[in-house]
């Protein structure tokens, strides 16, 4: 029964627990057993909260036994990205500078997961402070892709995507700053959503780039992802950037799965040189599928998307330079060299040298330079102007179509180490995802098959206007339903047994 439970969707598990056919404790234990069997190879988790998870599950079972009405995800396990503060577990952000830090409070997303009755299994690995596209930048080791452990699981939320893809959790959380939910979802064959910026709370999310960070959900199905989205999204007075508006009807849209008459725009600029042939083939097939389902497909040009990558890598590091200044060895986290003979500046320098990894240092230096006197207007100021032009491209496009579509990432998962010494090659993994972060609109990645070249998953990206997140799930569910009929089940079920990951 336990292995069967790990193969169920989150929606199915919620129904089984609600009906009494199984208990939250049984479901939690099944997933903890799966973690114990699989994670030594995959390395998705930084911390497994086995005792705490079982305690949470017992509490759900007790509340249900007492006749309390609970939500659809009560008792369902979830893996939590280690960028969200958790009062009962360490929060390290994949960095030595926060090794062992236990926050005194929960992030709003964490608190809402608990309120919904979700069982937090533990904290997942990530690129340090969410800076990366492969989860190779973690100070605590590399996470492996369950489809092929020699490949990356994407990043920065690679631990979260790998946990779901390897059936260690039916759901997980991530954050998307430049594509850090959608890109890992694409290369591990699952669903991942970047909500409208401000649609999910950043309170208690350790900041990378404050104008870009968006917490979002991962799931193995579109419906599961929508259920999690609904569970933790919504206005939060603790977050000054939070939108005071109702959560779009994402669950209703995921159940609708109908695109008849919907206007779909194919982004002209996302394709061609640098795109893997198999990725483009699966993307074209998915567009043809939407057309066969009644969608009205047209090509749309967004000319300034070509400048999104360089603009992002000036804006995001500039915000990094500001946000990471708080790690000064004075208040919390790592503290080195404090032997009574050194000044505060020396202690700070020694701590940052040992505590920050190479990619974090690279971005701090780049951002500090871009903000410096004499260079601010030429670099940061110009990048913000490009951001405005990208917003205008989106506005013009959404006057013509209801959603935009593109490949999620130009290639399938690349081998671990292949791009480690080439930052530009690494940054290109987020080529298609960055524009939505710069503009703040909603976007999702859903599986659209395997590349015929290497047999690895390909992601199909759907983008919608701000606060039209429900459109993502409507289109995604239609794609998923059609492909499920074709594949005979979810894409993950077609995966070979790889290194014990299945």
- Tell me the C-alpha distance between 328 and 348, whole Å: 5
Q: From the candidates 161, 180, 201, 318, which is the catalytic residue? A: 180
pLDDT at site 485: 82
Three-state secondary-structure class, residue 174: strand
pLDDT at site 497: 57
Q: Domain for residue 471, yes or no? A: yes
End-to-end CA, the chain: 16
Q: From the candidates 81, 138, 201, 445, which is the catalytic residue? A: 81
CATH number for the domain harbouring residue 54? 3.90.1300.10
105 and 204 Cβ atoms separated by less than 8 Å: yes
Q: Domain for residue 131, yes or no? A: yes
214 annotated active-site = no
Q: From the candidates 156, 160, 321, 439, which is the catalytic residue? A: 156
Tokens of 111: 């608190």
User: Tens of pLDDT along 118-170?
Assistant: 999 999 999 999 999 999 999 999 999 999 999 999 999 999 999 999 999 99
List the one residue out of 111, 210, 176 whose CA is nearest residue 469: 176
Is the entire prediction scored with pTM above 0.85?
yes
Q: Domain for residue 374, yes or no? A: no
- Tell me the C-alpha distance between 390 and 385, whole Å: 9
Q: Is pLDDT at 381 greater than 70 in this prediction?
A: yes
Mean pLDDT in residue range 407-420 = 97
Structural domain of 83: 2-304+388-494
Q: Domain for residue 186, yes or no? A: yes
195 and 442 Cβ atoms separated by less than 8 Å: yes
User: Tens of pLDDT along 430-445?
Assistant: 999 999 999 999 999 9
133 annotated active-site = no
Q: Domain for residue 469, yes or no? A: yes
User: Tens of pLDDT along 318-355?
Assistant: 999 999 999 999 888 899 998 889 999 999 999 999 99
List Cα–Cα distances, 418 to 93, 149, 358, in angstroms. Answer: 23, 14, 17
157 annotated active-site = no
- 30 phi, psi to nearest 5 deg: -60, -40
Burial class (CB in 10 A: 0-12, 13-18, 19+), 213: buried
Q: Where residue 496 falls among pLDDT bands split at 50, 70, 90?
A: low
Q: Domain for residue 207, yes or no? A: yes
Q: Domain for residue 342, yes or no? A: no
Percent over 70 (pLDDT), the chain: 98
Q: Domain for residue 353, yes or no? A: no
Number of domains in the chain: 1
User: Tens of pLDDT along 157-216?
Assistant: 999 999 999 999 999 999 999 999 999 999 999 999 999 999 999 999 999 999 999 999
Percent over 90 (pLDDT), the chain: 92
């Amino acid at each position: 029964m336990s292995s069967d439970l790990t193969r169920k969707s989150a929606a199915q598990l919620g129904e089984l627990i609600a009906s009494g056919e199984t208990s939250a404790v049984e479901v939690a234990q099944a997933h903890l057993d799966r973690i114990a069997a699989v994670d030594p190879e995959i390395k998705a988790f930084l911390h497994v909260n086995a005792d705490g998870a079982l305690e949470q599950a017992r509490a759900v079972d007790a509340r249900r036994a007492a006749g309390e009405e609970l939500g659809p995800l009560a008792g369902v396990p979830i893996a939590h990205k280690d960028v969200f503060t958790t009062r009962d577990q360490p929060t390290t952000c994949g960095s030595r500078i926060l090794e062992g830090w236990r926050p005194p409070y929960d992030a709003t997303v964490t608190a809402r997961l608990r309120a919904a009755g979700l069982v937090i299994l533990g904290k997942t690995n990530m690129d340090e402070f969410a800076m990366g596209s492969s989860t190779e930048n973690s100070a605590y080791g590399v996470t492996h892709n369950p489809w092929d452990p020699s490949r990356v699981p994407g990043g920065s939320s690679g631990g979260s995507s790998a946990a779901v893809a390897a059936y260690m959790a039916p759901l997980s959380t991530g954050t998307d700053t430049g594509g850090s939910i959608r890109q890992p979802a694409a290369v591990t064959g699952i669903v991942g959503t970047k909500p409208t910026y401000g649609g999910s709370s950043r309170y208690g999310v350790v900041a990378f780039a404050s104008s870009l960070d968006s917490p979002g959900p991962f799931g193995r199905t579109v419906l599961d992802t929508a259920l999690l989205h609904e569970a933790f999204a919504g206005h939060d007075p603790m977050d000054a950037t939070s939108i005071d508006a109702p959560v779009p009807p994402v669950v209703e849209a995921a159940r609708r799965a109908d695109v008849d008459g919907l206007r779909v725009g194919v982004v002209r600029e996302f394709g061609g040189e640098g795109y893997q042939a198999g990725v483009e083939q699966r993307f074209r097939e998915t567009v043809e599928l939407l057309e066969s389902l009644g969608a009205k497909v047209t090509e749309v040009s967004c000319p300034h998307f070509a400048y999104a990558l360089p603009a992002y890598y000036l804006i995001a590091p500039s915000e990094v330079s500001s946000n990471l200044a708080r790690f000064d060895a004075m208040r919390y986290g790592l503290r080195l060299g404090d032997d009574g003979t050194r000044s505060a500046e020396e202690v700070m320098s020694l701590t940052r040298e040992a505590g920050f990894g190479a990619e974090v240092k690279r971005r701090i230096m780049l951002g500090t330079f871009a903000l410096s006197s004499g260079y601010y207007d030429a670099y940061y100021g110009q990048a913000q102007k490009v951001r405005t032009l990208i917003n205008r491209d989106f506005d013009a496009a959404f006057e013509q179509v209801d959603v935009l579509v593109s490949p999620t990432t130009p290639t399938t998962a690349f081998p671990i180490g292949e791009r480690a010494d080439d930052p530009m090659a690494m940054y290109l993994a987020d080529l298609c995802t960055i524009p939505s972060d710069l503009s703040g609109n909603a976007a999702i990645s859903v599986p659209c098959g395997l590349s015929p070249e290497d047999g690895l998953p390909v992601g199909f990206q759907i983008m919608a206007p701000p606060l039209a997140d429900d459109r993502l799930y409507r289109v995604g569910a239609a794609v998923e339903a059609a492909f499920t009929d074709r594949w005979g089940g979810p894409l993950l079920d077609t995966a070979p047994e790889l290194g014990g990951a299945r």
